[in-house]
Structure 1
Amino acid sequence: MANKDWSKVQPPLSKPVLNCINKHGFKTMTPIQAAVIPLLLSCKDVVAEAVTGSGKTLAFVVPMLEMLLKKKKDGPLRKDFVYVVIISPTRELATQIFKVIEDFLQEPELASTTLALLVGGRPIEVDAIALQKGADIAVCTPGRLEDLLSERKQLNLAGRLKELELLVLDEADRLLDLGFSGTLTTILQYLPRQRRTGLFSATQTKELQDLVRAGLRNPVVVSVKEKSTISTPLLLETYYVIVEAQDKFLFLLNFIRNRKIAKGLFFLPTCACVDYWTDVLPVFLPDIKIFGLHGKMKQKRHKILEKFRQADNTILLCTDLLARGLDIPEVEWVLQWEPPCQPSALVHRAGRAARGGARGCALLPLLTTEDAYVPFIKTNQMVELKDWRESDDQIKITDKLRERVLGILHEQQKKDRAIFDKGQRAFVSHMRAYTKHECNLLLQFKELPLGHIATSYGLLKLPLMPEIKPEHKQQFVGPKEEIDFNTIQYRDKQKETSRLQKLEEYKKSGVWPSKKKKKMVQTLPWEQAKQNKEERKEKRKKRKELKQKNPELKKGKKRKVITQEELDALAADVALIKKLKKRKITQDQFDREFEAD
């Protein structure tokens, strides 16, 4: 766009907002900012789509501040009203937006504006008190906002939203991916219709279009892309590499060692995988700070993310929780263990690098059975993956290196049973997650060499899974010596004492104490269980269609029709009982007449 200068926005921006923009070093507008800001300032509803890292946050923060300044000219803002609500899918992204707005409110003319962060992971009373003190702007997650809206007795948040001027749904497609569709529908019912709404997203989906129809009035759709052939930032280089299943960890380990990564993100399939590799990796990378973060960490998440932001020469192991909206400008490399469950998530993962005009790189290792994913992702998501093997940096994996790394992994698990348990859980959860890939026609679970993958994890033994076949057992490379797994101890003394007590009871009774006796149920492979579930779903669908075609089937069994004769007989019996109660007839007369009837 030609008009990228902040001073030329129409309608023009106020001096306090321009001062804030200049102080923070934003010299010119990005295309999405140049397109969206004038529309929101002109009281239009906006649906904005732009690649990750394109400056969507500022596109709604600037018009929001302008709107509040304009409203203050008409009179002071009321303490008991909320004028702006910004809904974000995760606590991390909500906190990030909160800090951006907080920095802008340092300007004297904006200092009186109150701001509240409403997210989960803490008592709801904390947020209720913050709102009661006054909050012109509320940055929140959908679940916490819904809880606060339902808390009517003391807070009455629905009443405080009567004067709402602006609603922002940030990363709206992610809000729907995380299952917040019903929550958003509930929230929208509480909000006044006369408001401005901004819906910001990196991708457009059918579910998103349904939300647009439900929550926006004649919106202007803005789609800004840096280049028509790709959907990732121009300065981002995305690579793939074909590796053998048993060598995936070795390749990634050497890849990290061979380059000095100041800040890197490493995306893993599940929370259990993050826990396991966070414990294991520091032994191999002593000079690099390793952090782990996933959605099941309720209280620690904010602290870990702050430590990662402040550290140098560090890697954060994480799940797709951090694939969206996270803004850490220094991220140089984004590494991935395997393709994400949703193809669109690849764009968001890679987009954590190359933000704000900086350069960045992303690497995706693929197994030999997954090579069709490269042309698929180019067609499906417009992401072109370059082959790392064509670069000058070649990584060789020798038998000596393989034995040494496996030996270290085995020793770590022998020294602490907790790591042994985490390794087992990580592998099982990883395999379960693989079966849920949306593009399972390309990434087929039955083609996975499970034994080789378990070898890459450095497991001491294969888990008990119905999916493990004899050929997988032949592929698996475990420790050379025989191991009595009952002798592996926990480093945690309390946990080890508890385990030994249970082990003694098990030797006496033959039943592990922590396990309740259950009926013997045949364990089915995941794919078979999934197929059975789909068959049941299809049967329910057919029954529903049949009932729609034949409405009489909805009524179920027809009740027997009661004749008039039976009704008359019943009435006569009731009259006879009343006569007996009123002592108009004797018991003998009642018995004779009742028996005659």
Structure 2
Amino acid sequence: MVNKFWKEVRPALSEPVLNCIKKQGFNKMTPIQAAVIPLILSSKDVVAEAVTGSGKTLAFVVPMLEMLLKKQKEEPLRKDFVYCVIITPTRELANQIFKVIKQFLEEPELSCITISLLVGGRSVESDVESLSKGSHIAVCTPGRLMDLLAERKQLNLPGRLKELEILVLDEADRLLDLGFTATLTTILQYLPRQRRTGLFSATQTKELQDLIRAGLRNPVVISVKEKSTISTPILLENYYVIVEAQDKFIFLLNFIRNRIMVKGLFFLPTCACVDYWADILPVFLPDKKVYAIHGKMKQKRSKILENFREAENTILLCTDLMARGLDIPCVDWVVQWEPPLSPAGLVHRAGRAARGGAAGCSLLPLLTTEDAYVPFIKANQLVQLKDWTQSTDQIKVTQKLRDKVLSIMHEQQLKDRSVFDKGQRAFVSHMRAYTKHECNLLLQFKDLPLGHIATSYGLIKLPLMPEIKQEHKEQFVGPKIDIDFNSICYKDKQKEASRLKKLEEYKKTGVWPSNKKKKMAQTQPWEKAKMNKEERKQRKKKRKELKQQNPEGKRSKKRRAVTQAELDELAADVALIKRLKKRKITQEQFDDAFDVDK
């Protein structure tokens, strides 16, 4: 089948592009590439849906280079024009695509084509300078492109885009999930209508359909799946396991220990969770290199990702920042702490393994209250999860192991208050994130044993949360010794000095010196806060509707016209007041004129 695809597409490509493809080792063409490349070359708008890891990047890179090479032969490419724009949801994905294209441009036949990477995390001036020198292809994130279009007038990027040939939105559904709808709509207004557009994603959503209608002209929709019964790569094995809430970390720890992982991805619910487990996990895995990455890391992300790519016997703790589009070779295991916020997220997370025809596995631990998720995800996303307990590799959690692991986790927090703080933040942020699950009919926050989950986190005390009830306090297993929490110190001397100063003030006043607004902001359960927010939203909507019906509001009420007689009477009264001030009349005369009762 692959050879057949290659033979079908080959006649449409020029010799320089074919040579580059062979030199780069891309001599096997996937179904999505075979379907999309001829369509783009024939000036069609394309909407392509294919499972993650199926080669979507080359499906738009190859025709893009072919188109530029053809244009160069007809008329030299202008230095000050941008002919191709690729928009991605994250800078990591943009950087990956940039490197793929850069490999092609190293070939002499394509050296006439220039490229720029326009992403956040670095100065805008460097991007302005790059575009000013000349860039035929721009790989960018939507926020940075919007900034360059709207704010940098001296660059005149809209003018540079007037000859735009092709626009590509990679991971288009993720762009919309991240709230870039308004930004993309504005960007499209700057771009010429006579262009080719390609939307590439692993899943189709209603929002994506709206964008297709707004930005494409009679697009050809391509949907390529390896089997009609699955939506993940064919060589990817997806497992689930039911675990007790208090044993989740211990189970996952032993699971990772017992696997020979070249590279593993460990997906966690929030940035705070990544920060906390990045301190805890290396203590238990001294023979593995543990990296951590999330969206709040601005400058470090590229370096961390590069180190992870080059390392072996390593694991990367991450959020859903890493769930889309990134192609990291040799990822053989994807481990998740819990189901992602959206069902489609499971497909993308698991798809980081088994890329490019390689084998891989994923594991999703579920609590006893979450077992209905297995049939749901099969029906909703066509993902068949196998029961790990049916395998020959059994992982047992004993009381002795529980005590040992908890003891080490407690010790880490007692040694450094920073770890203690991170644990508290991680737990609270995780619980808040759980309330936002799209399939909250199955994953209900009220069913969670919060005390057991806090035990799994190895916390030394329960956070102050309105959701924590007496039953949760009874579930919680903390240290077996009494702890003076004020005596836990920061390893960082500067932070510790600041804490001691605040502690001294607290002992004097009984009030901890901090931002009271920040402290008092969360005084009610999230469920109630969510209801209140919804009520405020409805009230605002109602006011907006009333305003539309009556645009001028209260001011639209007609005022009664003032008669001339009333104006004359007012003028007479003013004249009397002036005469009184000038003592031309007495107070008695003034009172008589105004009928003042004495």
TM over 0.5: yes
Instruction: Answer yes or no: is 1:199 the counterpart of 2:194.
Output: no
Structure 2: gaps spanning 5 or more residues:
576-583, 585-589
Partner of residue 491, structure 2:
491
Q: 1:559 aligns with which of 531, 548, 557?
A: 557
Letter in 2 for 1:194: Q
**C-alpha distance in 1 between matches for 2:570 and 2:472:** 80
Alignment of 1:150-549 (within 5 A): 150-516=150-516, 523-542=523-542
Q: Deviations over 1:309-344 (max 9, x none)?
A: 000000000000010001012000000000001111
**C-alpha distance in 2 between matches for 1:354 and 1:519:** 45
Partner of residue 100, structure 1:
100
**C-alpha distance in 1 between matches for 2:521 and 2:326:** 44
**C-alpha distance in 2 between matches for 1:155 and 1:496:** 48
**C-alpha displacement of 1:498:** 1.4
**C-alpha displacement of 1:26:** 1.9
Structure 1: gaps spanning 5 or more residues:
578-587
Partner of residue 43, structure 2:
43
**C-alpha distance in 2 between matches for 1:431 and 1:520:** 19
Any conservation in 2 of the 1:7–1:18 contact (CA below 8 Å)? no
**C-alpha distance in 1 between matches for 2:133 and 2:550:** 58
**C-alpha displacement of 1:148:** 0.3
Letter in 2 for 1:560: K
Any conservation in 1 of the 2:128–2:155 contact (CA below 8 Å)? yes
| C-alpha distance 570-156 of structure 1, shift in aligned 2 (>3 A) | farther
Any conservation in 1 of the 2:268–2:338 contact (CA below 8 Å)? yes
Q: Deviations over 1:216-240 (max 9, x none)?
A: 1111111111111111111000000
| C-alpha distance 162-478 of structure 1, shift in aligned 2 (>3 A) | same
Instruction: Answer yes or no: is 1:34 the counterpart of 2:40.
Output: no
**C-alpha distance in 1 between matches for 2:518 and 2:273:** 29
Partner of residue 14, structure 1:
14
| C-alpha distance 4-179 of structure 1, shift in aligned 2 (>3 A) | farther
| C-alpha distance 555-20 of structure 1, shift in aligned 2 (>3 A) | same
| C-alpha distance 558-113 of structure 1, shift in aligned 2 (>3 A) | closer
**C-alpha displacement of 1:29:** 1.3
**C-alpha displacement of 1:500:** 1.2
Q: Deviations over 1:525-583 (max 9, x none)?
A: 001111222233334445556777xx35874465234437459958997xx99xxxxxx
SS in 2 for 1:418: helix
Any conservation in 1 of the 2:5–2:31 contact (CA below 8 Å)? no
Any conservation in 2 of the 1:11–1:38 contact (CA below 8 Å)? no
Any conservation in 1 of the 2:309–2:329 contact (CA below 8 Å)? no
Any conservation in 2 of the 1:3–1:34 contact (CA below 8 Å)? no
**C-alpha distance in 2 between matches for 1:293 and 1:137:** 28
| C-alpha distance 160-570 of structure 1, shift in aligned 2 (>3 A) | farther
Q: Which moved more, 1:393-402 or 1:70-79?
A: 70-79
Letter in 1 for 2:257: R
SS in 1 for 2:217: coil
| C-alpha distance 489-2 of structure 1, shift in aligned 2 (>3 A) | closer
Q: Deviations over 1:483-525 (max 9, x none)?
A: 0011111111111111111111211122222334789778110
Any conservation in 1 of the 2:82–2:163 contact (CA below 8 Å)? yes
Any conservation in 2 of the 1:4–1:31 contact (CA below 8 Å)? no
**C-alpha displacement of 1:243:** 0.1
**C-alpha displacement of 1:12:** 1.7
**C-alpha distance in 2 between matches for 1:518 and 1:205:** 37
Partner of residue 582, structure 1:
none
Partner of residue 580, structure 1:
none
**C-alpha distance in 1 between matches for 2:81 and 2:220:** 28
Q: How many residues of Structure 1 are paired with residues of Structure 2 in the alignment?
A: 581
SS in 2 for 1:36: helix
Q: Deviations over 1:237-291 (max 9, x none)?
A: 0000000000000000000111111100000000000000011111100000000
Letter in 2 for 1:528: K
Q: Deviations over 1:405-447 (max 9, x none)?
A: 0000000111111101100000000000000001111000011
**C-alpha distance in 2 between matches for 1:557 and 1:114:** 59
**C-alpha distance in 1 between matches for 2:554 and 2:308:** 61
**C-alpha displacement of 1:153:** 2.8
SS in 2 for 1:335: strand
Q: Deviations over 1:428-474 (max 9, x none)?
A: 00000000001111000011000000000000000000000000000
Q: Deviations over 1:107-163 (max 9, x none)?
A: 111012111000001111010000001000000000000000013432010110011
Percent identical residues: 77
Letter in 2 for 1:344: A
| C-alpha distance 307-192 of structure 1, shift in aligned 2 (>3 A) | same
Partner of residue 126, structure 2:
126
Aligned residues: CA RMSD: 2.5
**C-alpha distance in 2 between matches for 1:518 and 1:364:** 35
Letter in 1 for 2:458: G
Letter in 1 for 2:44: K
Partner of residue 584, structure 1:
none
**C-alpha distance in 1 between matches for 2:23 and 2:248:** 46
**C-alpha distance in 1 between matches for 2:565 and 2:15:** 86
**C-alpha distance in 2 between matches for 1:524 and 1:490:** 30
| C-alpha distance 363-53 of structure 1, shift in aligned 2 (>3 A) | same
